[in-house]
Amino acid sequence: MEAAKYLIFFALELLLFTQRCMCVRDVRLMLPTAVMSGHGAKFICLYDLQEAPLYSVKWYRGQREFYRYLPQENPPMKFIPIPGIDIDLYKSDANEVRLREIHSDLTGVFSCEVTADAPSFRTASASKNITIVEMPNLAPNVTVEKSLSDEGLSIISVNCTNFYSKPPGKLSIFLNEEPVSAQFVFPIF
């Protein structure tokens, strides 16, 4: 009977300890869903350490780390170069990474990984997809040709060419402020 009391006491103590466990929870990202290529952006990572000290915050593009914050180091922030990312270290910290410039080939998943310090060294992360947008340098080129059919009806042929953009632009055709039915629109690639 005495052994059962100790076992129950041990189980309760273990339960209470795990309730007090200093873990990383609730990692949230505040990132734009789209950023213009060549422009800057602010990436924010919010988290709850539950009174545990911070060991590190790491930012990734895909599987590649590009920024690290370790409060015990001097300086605490470190940029790991990735082509197409330029970070402003003076405006970056444990919660925020300021990008001066980002390029279109970096469209994809960005992640923030937070690790609590000893004794737990627990880690949690969050990820979000970002599209880097590259706008066309010129407005779409529109040419219009008018002709008459054999029945005497007016035929209008419109060619609208959109220049390079990433992601590709979506063109819509309107006639007298009404959208032209898809059955009359023929894409040419």
Local confidence band at 181 (pLDDT 50, 70, 90 cut-offs): confident
Torsion angle (degrees, nearest 10) of CA 75, 80, 86, 92: -30
Measured between alpha carbons, how far is 30 from 183 in angstroms, rounded to an integer? 42
Instruction: Identify the pLDDT of residue 89.
Output: 92
Percent of the chain with pLDDT over 70: 87
Name, in order, each residue with C-beta under 8 angstroms of 25's C-beta and a sequence gap of 6 or more: 47, 48, 50, 124
Res. 38: pLDDT tops 70 = yes
Res. 99: pLDDT tops 70 = yes
Summarised one tens digit per residue, pLDDT across range 132-175 is: 998 888 888 888 888 877 777 777 787 888 887 788 877 788 88
Summarised one tens digit per residue, pLDDT across range 5-30 is: 544 544 445 444 444 555 878 899 99
**H-run or E-run covering 64:** strand 64-69
User: Residues 88-107: what's their mean pLDDT?
Assistant: 92
Res. 47: pLDDT tops 90 = yes
Instruction: Identify the pLDDT of residue 54.
Output: 93
Domains of the chain, first to last: 22-133 (2.60.40.10), 141-184 (no CATH)
Res. 71: pLDDT tops 80 = yes
The token duo for 57 is 């915050």
- DSSP codes joined into one string, 144-182: EEEEE-TTS-EEEEEEEEPPP-BSPP----EETTEEPPG
**Average pLDDT value for the chain:** 84
Angle at 51 between CA 49 and CA 57, to 5 degrees: 35
**H-run or E-run covering 29:** strand 25-30
The token duo for 184 is 């009359």
pTM, entire model:
0.72
HSE on the CB side for 53, CA within 13 Å? 7
